[in-house]
Structure 1
Amino acid sequence: MKQIIYSLLALVALNACNSNTKTENSTEVQEKEDWIILFDGTTTEGWRAYNGDELPPGWIIKNGELTFDTELGLEQDYTGGKDIIYGAEEFENFELYLEWKLPKGGNSGIFYHLPEVPGMSPSVLAPEYQLIDDENYASMHDLTSYNKKMGETENLDQLQDWQKTASDYAMYPADQSQVDLNPVGEWNSSKIVYTPEKVEYWLNGKVVVSFVPGSEDWETRKNSGKWSNAPDYAKAKKGYIGLQDHSSPIWFKNIKIKKL
């Protein structure tokens, strides 16, 4: 009799274990299914020029990475813009994840809620998660006149906080106490989480920017800085994901997005 009871208890335990395993596996599968892969290292399907039909010269896949090759890009007789978008779908509330690296002196950015408007640059329409070589950029580029134009009065030859990596460009500076940026040539990970209640910018696993879109503080920053004369800046609440060309090599991989 005892042997029968022990056998039944073992069977119940085994079923419970299998049930838990199925639940965990089901959750993992669901999480994987929630992500939309924008770039998997094998194809540029869905990607094209902003206001264009195909990728501009220079944007290619190399070693499983989406990269802007300046030699290819600058050699072509091409007059269109070189910023690119994932044009297969527009996104509203989302979590975007990607990995990237820059060369010494490199500069790029990630756009979201980007509408396509003929004749207009993405930079005056969409918020930008800044990507730049914080350490070396100022020593390789003259920032003085630009910073003066922006109303800065100190350290005009240096990157301002609102220009540094992971900042909401010209709006919300990245919290430098949380910024842990890998050296040029090494991979970094970034995440943008957008909801109407709060926006978060992540860098290498840490939140470095947080703000409420459209809040009184947001409006004040928008109307008193670089975007004061850009009436359509961040006006769209749904749009494309874009990657910026700044005549600089740039590498991206593992680009994916989840709708919220």
Structure 2
Amino acid sequence: MVPSEHSANNRGSNLILSIKNKTLAVLALLSVLSQPAFAADNQLTAEEQADGWQLLFNGKDMSQWRSFKQPTVNEKWQIEDGAITLTAGGGGDLISKESYKNFELTLDWKIAEVGNSGILILADEKGKYIYSHAPEIQILDNERHPDNKLDTHLSGSLYDMIASPVASHKKAGEWNSTKIRLENSALTIWQNNVQTAKVTIGSTDWNSLIAKSKFASWPGFAAAKEGHIGLQDHGDKVWFKNIKIKELN
């Protein structure tokens, strides 16, 4: 009689323990499933892969980049802590090996104190300098760099053409995000999820902006319908990571 009761008690305890373990497992699974599908640095989520996004930098090498008008990457561009890094001026501008026409580009960047850099689109190699033909999205230490006196030269601006809201920029040394969408010449720019510029290349508005800018007398500026993505060497230390692109149409 006693052994039988003991056995029954054990079976009851085991059943309760089993139910508790299964409940905890289900709760743990639900917790994981409820989390957003964020990718680690320089990786794509499953959703991004399914949606056609591609990495332009894997955090380990710069195999998808080269220096402007050069077959390889200048040694002053290095990888530091999973970021493409301009360690010193004189490295020249970087360009993607592939060219793009309609695309959405996202990336993260940070700039050193008193720093200046930029992201360029539709870059070709016809001119002496990348910026002579390619529109630039400005990167700047807004607080300290002397170029902060012009609104159209602040970080997130379509350089010398459309001013960015100052509030969208984080201070030097902090990571910022930029998104650029170009579809059938319609260009939209976001910085830290704030839209900073929207214009159609070649439109009346565009031509008016060009006429008021330094590019008015630059032949061939923004004439290319397809081109490389560029990362600018302006002589200051700058970091780039999570560079992702999705071709449209």
**TM tier relative to shorter chain:** 0.7 to 0.9
8 A contact 2:185–2:202 mirrored in 1: no
**Stretches of 4+ moved more than 3 A in 1?**
28-31
Decide which moves more: 105-114 or 199-208: 199-208
Aligned position for 1:234: 222
Aligned position for 2:64: 46
Q: Is the counterpart of residue 85 in structure 1 residue 95 in structure 2? A: yes
Q: Is the counterpart of residue 200 in structure 1 residue 188 in structure 2? A: yes
Structure 2 unaligned spans of 5+: 1-32, 38-44
Deviation at 1:223, TM superposition (A): 2.4
Aligned position for 1:126: 134
Aligned mate of 1:63, from 73, 81, 88 = 81
Q: 1:39-188 residue pairs with structure 2 within 5 A? A: 39-70=57-88, 82-87=92-97, 89-117=98-126, 120-138=128-146, 158-176=148-166, 179-188=167-176
**3-state SS in 2 of match to 1:123:** helix
Deviation at 1:224, TM superposition (A): 3.1
Distance 1:207 1:224 in 2: 22
Distance 2:206 2:65 in 1: 31
Aligned position for 1:5: none
Aligned position for 1:213: 201
8 A contact 1:114–1:242 mirrored in 2: yes
Q: For residue 32 of structure 1, what is the amino acid of its counterpart? A: Q
Distance 1:159 1:124 in 2: 22
Distance 1:215 1:125 in 2: 17
Q: 1:221-260 residue pairs with structure 2 within 5 A? A: 221-260=209-248
Residues 150-200 of structure 1: per-residue CA shift (max 9 Å, x gap) = xxxxxxxx5200100010101111134xx3221111101000011126211
8 A contact 1:134–1:159 mirrored in 2: no
Q: For residue 106 of structure 1, what is the amino acid of its counterpart? A: G
Q: Is the counterpart of residue 32 in structure 1 residue 61 in structure 2? A: no
8 A contact 2:156–2:169 mirrored in 1: no
* % identical equivalent positions: 36
From the superposition, tell whether residues 181 and 175 of structure 1 become closer, same or farther in structure 2 (CA, over 3 Å): closer
CA RMSD between the two structures = 1.9
Residues 103-127 of structure 1: per-residue CA shift (max 9 Å, x gap) = 110110001110112x521111000
Distance 1:62 1:159 in 2: 31
8 A contact 2:156–2:191 mirrored in 1: yes
Aligned position for 1:6: none
Aligned position for 1:190: 178
**3-state SS in 1 of match to 2:104:** strand
8 A contact 2:115–2:236 mirrored in 1: yes
Structure 1 unaligned spans of 5+: 1-20, 75-80, 144-157
Distance 2:116 2:133 in 1: 19
8 A contact 2:116–2:236 mirrored in 1: yes
Deviation at 1:211, TM superposition (A): 1.2
Paired residue total: 205
8 A contact 1:161–1:173 mirrored in 2: yes
Normalised to the residue count of structure 2, the TM-score between the two structures is: 0.77
Residues 34-61 of structure 1: per-residue CA shift (max 9 Å, x gap) = 1110012111102111000111131011
**3-state SS in 2 of match to 1:112:** strand
Normalised to the residue count of structure 1, the TM-score between the two structures is: 0.74
